[in-house]
Amino acid sequence: MEFLKKITTGDTRQYRVTLIEGWTLDQALNEIWSNSNIVRKLDSSSGELVADSLNLEEESVEGLLYPDTYFFTRGAPDSDILIRAYERMKEVLTEAWESRLGAFPTTTHMIP
């Protein structure tokens, strides 16, 4: 009965993985892959191959993963964690650039 209650209320166990500021992509992937609750889907730790596998617009994800603690349920693929970290970094960088460029007649899309 307890099992059915958990399923119907959406009560699931959350796990976490923490990506530390300054880590390389290799270090982040090693941390993610060392968590037995995460399913490894990616074949490589190459920044270019990871970006390609995740269909990202950048050539590499090296330096583009936001350092934070990410929560997930058992069986989450490694790609989910990486996409969330990448998307969060994009949000933070966009906000930072927009606040900094507020006084200038340009947009974040004009920055090389």
pTM: 0.77
**Distance (Å, rounded) from C-alpha 17 to C-alpha 37?**
10
The boundaries of the domain holding residue 41 are 2-110
Assign 8 a pLDDT band (cuts: 50, 70, 90).
low
Task: Quick: pLDDT tens for 33-72.
Answer: 999 999 999 887 777 888 888 888 888 889 999 999 999 9
What values do phi and psi take at 52, rounded to 5? -65, -45
Contacts of 100 by beta carbon, 8 Å cutoff, 6+ apart:
none
Tokens 């209320």, located at residue = 9
Give the type of residue at 23: W
Count: domains in the chain: 1
